[in-house]
Amino acid sequence: MVIAIIAVLVSLLLPAVQQAREAARRSQCQNNLKQIGLALHNHHGIHKSFPPGVSVSTNGGATQHWNLGGSQAGSHHGPNWAANLLAELDQSALNDILKDCVKKDRNPCDGCELPSYNGGRTDRGRLSVFTPAALICPSAPDADQLFGQWELDELSKGNYGANYGTDDLYSHRSKATAGVFGLNEHSISFSGGPKEQWGRGMGTRIAEVKDGTTNTVAVSELLTVDSGKDGRGVWFAGWMGAAAFTAHDAPNSPGTDVVPYCDDSGLKPNDPMLCEENHDDQYNWAAARSDHSGGVNAAMADGSVQFISETISLETWQAICTRAGGEVVDEAF
C-alpha cells in the first residue's frame, strides 16, 4: 500500500519537476542570448559595426559559399559572426588560436580544424572541436558527432544562428529581404590585412537598422542533427543552417530546411528536422528552431531577449527579421 502511494506521488510530482528543469534550461538559454547580444554591442563599440555573417572574397571568380574545403583554394571565407565574438564572449584562448590560424589560412573552417587534411600540421590548435558554452542551449539535444564532409574535418556544433534575412543565403542583396547579418562579399582577394578577412567594421551598423533595434531579430536558436554528415549548427561556419537562419519559414516550422549538408536518414517521416540537400546557394534556407515548448528565444538588435511564439504569422516573423523593410508590425510577438 505504501509503495503504491509513493508511486502515485512520484507520478504526480514528475511533470512538475520536469517543467521546473525546462524552465531553468530556458532561462539559461535566454541568458546565453543576453551574453551574445551584449557581445554584439561591445563589438559594435570597438569596430563601429556588428560583425558580418561572414566576410567572403571570390578572388574575381565564382564560389560556392557552402564549400570551404580544398577545392575552393581561390576563395576566402574569413571568420564568421560567432568567431568574431570570441573575445567579447570571454573566449580569449580560442580567439588567440583563431587569430594565429587566419594568418596562415584563408578559410578558417578548413584551416583551423584538426590536422587530418593539412599534411599533419599541428600548429592550428584545436579550435574546431570546441563549442563555447554561451553558444549551447541546454534544452537542445546533444550533437556529439562532429561534422566532417567535403574535406572539412571534425567541426563542432552549437545552437544559435544569425538572422540572414527573410529568403535565402543571398537575402542581403535586397533591402526588402536583408537581415542584420549576411555575406559581406568582396570581388577581389583579401589584401592580407585583418580588416577584410575578419570583416571588422564591415557588418551592419546600428544606424542601418531602420526598422528599430527593439523590433528586429539579430540572433535566434537552431537545432542540430547528431550526424557527422549534417552541417546544421556548425558554430563558426558561414553556410546556411550552420550558424545562420532565415525567416523563409516560421520558427519551429514543419517546412523542410534546404541546406548544403543534410543527413535526415535516421529521422522519422514527421520529424521537423527533415531536410533537403542542395549545393546551390541561391536555394538555401533554414528555420529558427528550438526544443522549447511553443517557440524560440531571440536576441533583438538592441540586445534584449524575446520569446517568439511559433504561432506567429509568417508575415510578422518576416517583418521583424528585416532590418530596413519598412513593415508595420501590428501583431504582438
Helix residue ranges, H only, 179-280: 194-198
Kindly state whether residue 333 falls inside one of the protein's structural domains: no
Burial of 42 per CB tally in 10 Å (0-12, 13-18, 19+): middle
Q: Across-strand partners of 245?
A: 163
Q: Is residue 276 part of a domain?
A: yes
Total number of domains in the chain? 1
Domain span at 263: 2-319
Backbone angles phi, psi at 309, to 5 degrees: -65, 140
Identify the three-state secondary structure at position 28: helix
Residue 329 inside a domain? The answer is no
Q: Please give the model's pTM, rounded to 2 decimal places.
A: 0.87
The DSSP output letter for 134 is G
Is 324 contained in some domain? no
Q: What is the rounded average pLDDT for all residues in the chain? A: 83
Query: Does residue 269 or residue 14 have the better pLDDT?
Result: 269
Summarize pLDDT for 181-221 with one digit per residue, the tens: 998 887 666 655 566 678 777 899 999 999 999 999 999 99
Q: Concatenated DSSP letters for 138-153?
A: TTSPP--SPB--TT--
In a domain, 85, yes or no: yes
> Could you tell me if 322 and 176 are in contact, meaning their C-beta atoms sit under 8 angstroms apart?
yes
